[in-house]
Amino acid sequence: MSMSVVFSDMQKPCTSITKKIVAHLISTLMVASLVLFFLPASSSADDNLENESDTVVLPVVTVTATAPDILTQKEIIDRDTLSIIPATNGNLTEAFKTVPGVQYSESFESSKTGGEIEPPEISISGGRPEDNNFILDSIGNNSLLDPAFKDTTNYNNVPGNAQEMFLLDHLINTVDIYRANISARYGAFNGGVIETNSIDPTAEFSGRISFRMTDSSWGEFHIDPAEQEAFYNSNQALYQPKFSKYQFSATLNVPVNDYSGLLFDYSRLQSTIPLQHFDQEVSQHRINENIFLKYVTEPQTGTKLTLSGSYMPYEGKYFLKNAMYSDYSLLGGGYKLSGQLEKRLALGQLEFNLGYQKSWNSRVAPPDWYSWRVSDLTEEKDWGAIISSKTSWEGGYGDIDKEQETLVGNIHMAFDAIKFGKQEHQINAGAEISATEAVFNRPENMSVYSVAKINGSVICPEGSFDCVQGEQFMYFMNDYPEDHAEANITNYSAYLEDNLSFGKFDLRPGIHLSYDDLQNNLNAAPRLAASYDPFGDRNTIFIAGVNRYYGASLLTLALEEQKLPYEVYMRSTVLDSSNFQPQPWPEDPRPRKSIDASRTGDLKTPYADEWTAGIRQQVWGGTFAASYINRVYKDQIVSVTLDMTDIDPDDPYSYKEWRNSGHRDYEELTFEYSKEWEKSSLYFNIGWSKNRSNSSSYASSFTESLLDVEAEDINFVWYGDKLIDRSQLPADNFSRPVKASLVYNRSLPYGFSFTNTTNYRGRYKALVNTNKSLDGYDIYAVVRKPSALTFDWRLSWMSPEYHGNTVELTLDILNLFNKRIAYGPSEENYLLGRQIWGGITYNF
């Protein structure tokens, strides 16, 4: 079943007139909000009382609350929930295992890489991981630096992540996961919105010190017998037979006065991964640190000012397989400064946010790579013999710096409800401006010396690195030049929506406008959500919606097209007869048959059209919900390799062009039930989804001739003995068709608490590209994977309070019954078996 929501084409290149319209709209909203800020707060009772001597003036008490949002399909995970569910590394996205509509990569929690600590990527409502909008304390936390690239050993790039910085879960107060019927307040996403609010300082002096750990010896692995020898004697990060993980955090709350407080937190998540490196054991490391400072003051009723600063670096320490002197570090994370003002005005609630942040994905590595030959003459470069290799590898791929710097401001106004007869209108409006600069920098040349000549007579020039005296010298080299690329984007957005109530109906029409000066696209995303309460008692509510969501523009595309290609050099293998030195490298590079180059062209902004319907029903003392989501993703970005042969046979460039040729269809049907008792709670959901796509990310590559009349020719493939459109292929990741979860928590006597989470993932068909073709079309095959049922437990004990001090012990057991779970298209891939974490927390 597939149904597309049809809107008129509301995306078009922005002219100077439309630029002025957007700029004028945003400036008007901001000026109006500043005016509102200086208006007096809402009138209070004492304004109407005369100051007579016999009049008793009572203090004014202002109560503010947000009505439950039943129109939006979202899940809320609060601090209490995070404290009771089983946990592993304590990352944000790891807490979403039981959230409906959220899918993880098939390789998440792979038995081969249990030592990794980076937050897992997620898909929401069929979107790609980079399609989500991560928000931390009202400021975006989204990396535009090639978030889908994951290769840790690439010559000319470094891996990225959808998030700029990795917040650990003990700093989270609430996280809202928006899946469908999403308010017009939110933009720059195709998938979902993850809005996280950090904890505030407490009113009293207090703190906590926490320590958790696990070790590979505490758990179980599931490794295919054919791979066990390579796994348990691993010399590379792809196989991690041993690891130890430690998580430490220290939090301090310091009241400044009666209405202000300060919070400071330092936390560190670290993994140590011992591996074989030649004839000794050498450890790799992964480190994620959070340094977090937050100041909150409420100087008067209805006014709250929050200032925060955070430094969240991530570092992965690696070495290259079978290479000497190859230690390198991959750096991520960043820092952020932000401020938030919340003020109650006469007309409603004002919120203003301002933030500056800088993040990076970088590499620090040896400057050059060498492939030395091993022979009877080689003594200095002979370590290849230790691993029975005829080559001794050495060095690395050089430093690379990729940085993203953003200045952002946004403002939101929630106006008080106004009644017109039987109708009630509550208007929300806001705007945001963000300016982002991205930089790619290779600070110095990096050379890959790949072919050496053995010659016992060679005399090396002074200071040379490509020659070994009396042994050998390099004569073939790929040179990656010093390089620098910059890209800038300024995003403007504004929204307006009306929460309209009349009788048994609630209606929320809205629109989100956005413009970016990189592609000059003006996008209008209409939103419409509605509910109907047939009995007027809020026990039975029908919900529906029709929406459009526009994604964000990735700066990596603009950086990619500016990168310089590498050059190939080759010198003579004959020594200079006058001094027995190698011949100098030629000044000019060798001509190449193929040179990679990329260009963006005139891209539209990717978008998704959605329609949804559902019901919420109070039953058996709890809440039942059923929902259906249908999305069609259009103008998705993919990479197309252009064949220039018929245009210019002498053109050496192999052009990679970014195009809007990607397409996806997504359907989801979900049922949920939740209930709470005095000492226990139950939550259950089961969902079915179908995800069909012609690409897995913006990096998905197709080949197409410039002379093709129909660009859609790239979309046909063989699947199940039929020639079908590529967009009808099942997605190759993040696409389990059936997913169910059950969470049960029980408070036990004597301070004990128990939580069980049961997760079921239905059997599915793994998609495999056979790398074969028929009549010019790729052939895809299917590998069937079985279903999996796992149980995760958390058992905790809280000591009795003694003078305000408590101690908490936690035990987390993941995959309790050590279930063997296969994943992916290969037969030999399995997820981790039973894993155990132990922790202790001191609260004061």
pLDDT digits (tens, 9 = 90+) for 67-84: 568 999 999 999 999 999
Question: Which tokens go with 277?
Answer: 């490196």
Q: How far apart, in whole angstroms, are the C-alpha atoms of residue 140 and residue 145?
A: 14
Q: How many CB atoms lie within 10 A of CB 823?
A: 22
Neighbours of 387 (CB within 10 A): 15
Q: How far is CA 404 from CA 118, 128, 181, 242, in A?
A: 19, 21, 31, 34
pLDDT of residue 734: 75
Q: How far apart are CA 216 and CA 791, in angstroms?
A: 19
Q: Give the CB-side neighbour count of residue 432, counting CA atoms within 13 A.
A: 28
Give the pLDDT score at 754: 98
Mean pLDDT along residues 672-684: 97
pLDDT band per the 50, 70, 90 thresholds, residue 704 = low
pLDDT score for 707: 34
User: What kind of architecture, by CATH, is found in domain 65-444+483-561+600-843?
Assistant: Beta Barrel (2.40)
Average per-residue pLDDT for the chain: 89
The Cα–Cα gap between 345 and 167 comes to 33
Residue 92 · residue 177 · CB < 8 Å = no
Check whether 43 has a pLDDT greater than 50.
no
Q: How far apart are CA 650 and CA 165, in angstroms?
A: 46
| CB neighbours of residue 782 within 10 Å | 14
For 122, list phi and psi in degrees, rounded to 5.
-130, 155
User: What is the model's pLDDT at position 685?
Assistant: 98
Half-sphere exposure of 565 (CA within 13 A, CB side): 17
CA distances in angstroms from 681 to 172, 531, 538, 684, 743, listed in the order given: 21, 27, 22, 10, 8
Q: Is the pLDDT confidence value at 722 over 80?
A: no
High-pLDDT (> 90) share of the chain, %? 76
Q: Which two tokens stand for residue 807?
A: 């101690």
Q: What is the pLDDT of residues 11-33, one digit of tens each?
A: 444 444 344 444 444 454 454 44
Closest CA to 646 of 590, 692, 709, 699: 709
What is the arrangement of strands in the sheet containing 722-725, beginning at the earlier edge strand? 722-725, 716-719, 777-785, 764-774
In the prediction, which pLDDT does 454 show?
96
* Angstrom distance (rounded) from CA 82 to CA 198: 13
Above 90 in pLDDT, residue 786?
no
**Cβ neighbours for 290, distance < 8 A, ≥ 6 positions apart:** 166, 167, 168, 171, 249, 265, 266, 267, 268, 310, 311, 312
Q: What is the pTM of this model?
A: 0.90
Q: 806-814 and 260-277: which strand pairing?
A: unpaired
Residue 491: pLDDT band with limits 50, 70, 90: very high
Q: Domain limits of the chain?
A: 65-444+483-561+600-843, 447-481+569-597
pLDDT at 766 over 50: yes
Q: Give the number of C-alpha atoms closer than 13 A to the C-alpha of residue 168, restricted to the C-beta side.
A: 31
At 125-141, the pLDDT tens digits run: 999 999 999 999 999 99
Q: How confident is the model at residue 727 (pLDDT cuts 50, 70, 90)?
A: low
Q: Higher confidence at residue 51 or residue 618?
A: 618
Element of type H or E holding 555: helix 555-560
Cα 616 to Cα 541: distance, rounded to the nearest angstrom: 5
Q: If you search the block for the tokens 């209805």, which residue do you land on?
A: 302
